[in-house]
Amino acid sequence: LCGILVLLAALPGLALRHAGLVNVRNALSMAAQGLVIAAGISLLWAIIGYSLAYAPGSGWLGGGAHVLLANLGALRDGLTVPESAFVLFQMGLAILAACLLPGAVAERVRLGWMTIFALLWMLLVYAPVVHWVWGGGWLAKLGVMDFAGALVVHLCTGFSALALLLIVGKRR
Protein backbone atom coordinates (compact mmCIF):
# COMPACT_ATOMS: atom_id res chain seq x y z
CA LEU A 1 0.00 0.00 0.00
CA CYS A 2 2.81 2.42 0.85
CA GLY A 3 4.55 1.66 -2.45
CA ILE A 4 1.36 2.42 -4.37
CA LEU A 5 0.89 5.71 -2.50
CA VAL A 6 4.46 6.79 -3.30
CA LEU A 7 3.93 5.90 -6.96
CA LEU A 8 0.69 7.93 -6.99
CA ALA A 9 2.58 10.91 -5.59
CA ALA A 10 5.36 10.49 -8.13
CA LEU A 11 3.48 9.81 -11.34
CA PRO A 12 0.19 11.70 -11.58
CA GLY A 13 0.94 13.98 -8.64
CA LEU A 14 4.18 15.44 -9.99
CA ALA A 15 2.90 15.42 -13.57
CA LEU A 16 -0.01 17.64 -12.56
CA ARG A 17 2.19 19.83 -10.35
CA HIS A 18 4.79 20.42 -13.05
CA ALA A 19 2.14 20.95 -15.71
CA GLY A 20 0.62 23.65 -13.51
CA LEU A 21 3.95 25.46 -13.12
CA VAL A 22 4.61 26.01 -16.80
CA ASN A 23 3.02 27.77 -19.73
CA VAL A 24 0.01 25.91 -21.12
CA ARG A 25 1.97 25.13 -24.32
CA ASN A 26 4.53 23.14 -22.32
CA ALA A 27 2.24 21.29 -19.91
CA LEU A 28 2.18 18.11 -21.99
CA SER A 29 5.96 18.22 -22.37
CA MET A 30 6.44 18.37 -18.59
CA ALA A 31 4.05 15.47 -18.04
CA ALA A 32 5.86 13.46 -20.73
CA GLN A 33 9.22 14.15 -19.09
CA GLY A 34 7.93 12.79 -15.82
CA LEU A 35 6.50 9.64 -17.38
CA VAL A 36 9.60 8.88 -19.46
CA ILE A 37 11.88 9.44 -16.48
CA ALA A 38 9.67 7.23 -14.32
CA ALA A 39 9.83 4.42 -16.87
CA GLY A 40 13.60 4.70 -17.19
CA ILE A 41 14.18 4.83 -13.43
CA SER A 42 11.93 1.79 -12.94
CA LEU A 43 14.01 -0.28 -15.34
CA LEU A 44 17.33 1.01 -14.05
CA TRP A 45 16.32 0.41 -10.41
CA ALA A 46 15.42 -3.21 -11.20
CA ILE A 47 18.57 -3.82 -13.24
CA ILE A 48 21.26 -2.29 -11.01
CA GLY A 49 19.96 0.53 -8.77
CA TYR A 50 18.59 -1.64 -5.96
CA SER A 51 21.79 -3.63 -5.86
CA LEU A 52 23.97 -0.50 -5.73
CA ALA A 53 21.86 0.87 -2.90
CA TYR A 54 21.11 -2.17 -0.73
CA ALA A 55 23.37 -5.11 -1.56
CA PRO A 56 26.27 -5.73 0.81
CA GLY A 57 29.36 -3.89 -0.37
CA SER A 58 31.71 -1.18 0.79
CA GLY A 59 30.80 1.82 2.91
CA TRP A 60 30.48 3.90 -0.26
CA LEU A 61 28.54 1.67 -2.65
CA GLY A 62 26.62 -1.59 -2.56
CA GLY A 63 27.71 -4.75 -4.33
CA GLY A 64 26.27 -6.77 -7.16
CA ALA A 65 24.34 -9.38 -5.18
CA HIS A 66 20.92 -8.09 -6.31
CA VAL A 67 21.63 -7.27 -9.98
CA LEU A 68 18.43 -7.89 -11.96
CA LEU A 69 16.71 -8.37 -8.57
CA ALA A 70 18.46 -11.70 -8.00
CA ASN A 71 18.81 -13.28 -4.56
CA LEU A 72 15.89 -11.44 -2.94
CA GLY A 73 14.83 -12.90 0.37
CA ALA A 74 11.33 -13.80 1.47
CA LEU A 75 11.59 -11.03 4.08
CA ARG A 76 13.84 -7.99 4.07
CA ASP A 77 16.56 -8.33 6.73
CA GLY A 78 15.46 -6.58 9.91
CA LEU A 79 11.93 -5.95 8.63
CA THR A 80 8.66 -7.85 8.52
CA VAL A 81 7.82 -7.06 4.89
CA PRO A 82 8.66 -9.13 1.80
CA GLU A 83 11.80 -7.88 0.10
CA SER A 84 9.89 -7.54 -3.18
CA ALA A 85 7.53 -5.03 -1.51
CA PHE A 86 10.57 -3.22 -0.11
CA VAL A 87 12.02 -3.03 -3.64
CA LEU A 88 8.75 -1.56 -4.96
CA PHE A 89 8.60 1.07 -2.21
CA GLN A 90 12.23 2.09 -2.70
CA MET A 91 11.71 2.19 -6.47
CA GLY A 92 8.82 4.58 -5.87
CA LEU A 93 11.10 6.84 -3.82
CA ALA A 94 13.74 6.73 -6.58
CA ILE A 95 11.10 7.69 -9.16
CA LEU A 96 9.82 10.48 -6.93
CA ALA A 97 13.31 11.87 -6.42
CA ALA A 98 14.19 11.75 -10.12
CA CYS A 99 10.84 13.20 -11.21
CA LEU A 100 11.41 16.26 -9.01
CA LEU A 101 14.42 17.28 -11.12
CA PRO A 102 12.58 18.46 -14.28
CA GLY A 103 10.66 21.01 -12.22
CA ALA A 104 13.88 22.95 -11.60
CA VAL A 105 14.53 23.43 -15.30
CA ALA A 106 10.99 23.56 -16.63
CA GLU A 107 10.71 24.82 -20.20
CA ARG A 108 14.51 24.94 -20.59
CA VAL A 109 15.68 21.43 -21.51
CA ARG A 110 14.72 18.78 -24.03
CA LEU A 111 13.18 15.44 -23.15
CA GLY A 112 16.17 13.32 -24.23
CA TRP A 113 18.70 15.44 -22.35
CA MET A 114 16.62 15.43 -19.16
CA THR A 115 16.02 11.68 -19.37
CA ILE A 116 19.71 10.86 -19.75
CA PHE A 117 20.59 13.27 -16.94
CA ALA A 118 18.00 11.73 -14.59
CA LEU A 119 19.16 8.17 -15.29
CA LEU A 120 22.82 9.05 -14.75
CA TRP A 121 21.88 11.03 -11.64
CA MET A 122 20.11 7.99 -10.18
CA LEU A 123 23.20 5.82 -10.69
CA LEU A 124 25.87 8.35 -9.69
CA VAL A 125 24.14 10.36 -6.95
CA TYR A 126 20.93 8.83 -5.64
CA ALA A 127 21.93 5.15 -5.31
CA PRO A 128 25.19 5.92 -3.45
CA VAL A 129 23.46 8.32 -1.04
CA VAL A 130 20.76 5.71 -0.36
CA HIS A 131 23.51 3.20 0.41
CA TRP A 132 25.31 5.66 2.70
CA VAL A 133 22.22 6.30 4.83
CA TRP A 134 19.75 3.42 4.45
CA GLY A 135 21.95 0.63 3.07
CA GLY A 136 24.42 0.43 5.95
CA GLY A 137 27.05 2.71 4.43
CA TRP A 138 29.46 5.11 6.07
CA LEU A 139 26.84 7.65 7.21
CA ALA A 140 24.72 4.91 8.81
CA LYS A 141 27.80 3.73 10.70
CA LEU A 142 28.28 7.27 12.01
CA GLY A 143 24.75 7.13 13.43
CA VAL A 144 22.88 9.16 10.80
CA MET A 145 19.20 8.19 10.65
CA ASP A 146 16.68 9.28 8.05
CA PHE A 147 13.22 7.88 8.70
CA ALA A 148 11.16 9.87 6.20
CA GLY A 149 13.56 10.61 3.35
CA ALA A 150 14.44 14.20 4.22
CA LEU A 151 18.17 13.61 3.76
CA VAL A 152 18.16 10.97 1.06
CA VAL A 153 15.30 12.15 -1.14
CA HIS A 154 14.73 15.84 -0.49
CA LEU A 155 18.19 17.15 0.38
CA CYS A 156 19.89 15.10 -2.31
CA THR A 157 17.33 16.09 -4.95
CA GLY A 158 17.21 19.72 -3.85
CA PHE A 159 20.95 20.26 -4.15
CA SER A 160 21.01 18.34 -7.43
CA ALA A 161 18.18 20.50 -8.79
CA LEU A 162 20.09 23.62 -7.73
CA ALA A 163 23.23 22.39 -9.51
CA LEU A 164 21.15 21.53 -12.58
CA LEU A 165 19.60 24.99 -12.53
CA LEU A 166 23.04 26.62 -12.36
CA ILE A 167 24.22 24.52 -15.32
CA VAL A 168 21.20 25.23 -17.52
CA GLY A 169 20.87 28.90 -16.62
CA LYS A 170 18.05 31.40 -16.79
CA ARG A 171 15.07 31.27 -19.11
CA ARG A 172 15.41 33.18 -22.36
* Closest residue by Cα to residue 134 from 94, 98, 95, 164: 94
pTM of the entire predicted model? 0.94
d(CA 168, CA 81): 42
Above 80 in pLDDT, residue 148?
A: yes
Residue 97 near residue 155, CB atoms below 8 Å: no
Neighbours of 100 (CB within 10 A): 23
**pLDDT of the residue at 168:** 93
d(CA 89, CA 87): 6
Residue 140 near residue 132, CB atoms below 8 Å: yes
Instruction: Spell out a b/e string for 105-141, using b for 16 or more CB atoms within 10 Å of the CB, else e.
Output: bbebbeeeebbebbbebbeebbbbbbbbbbbbbebbe
Above 80 in pLDDT, residue 172?
A: no
* 3-state secondary structure (DSSP) of residue 15: helix
What percentage of the chain carries pLDDT values higher than 70? 100
Tens-place pLDDT, residues 15-50: 999 989 899 999 999 999 999 999 999 999 999 999
Tens-place pLDDT, residues 106-126: 989 999 999 999 999 999 999
DSSP state of 62: -
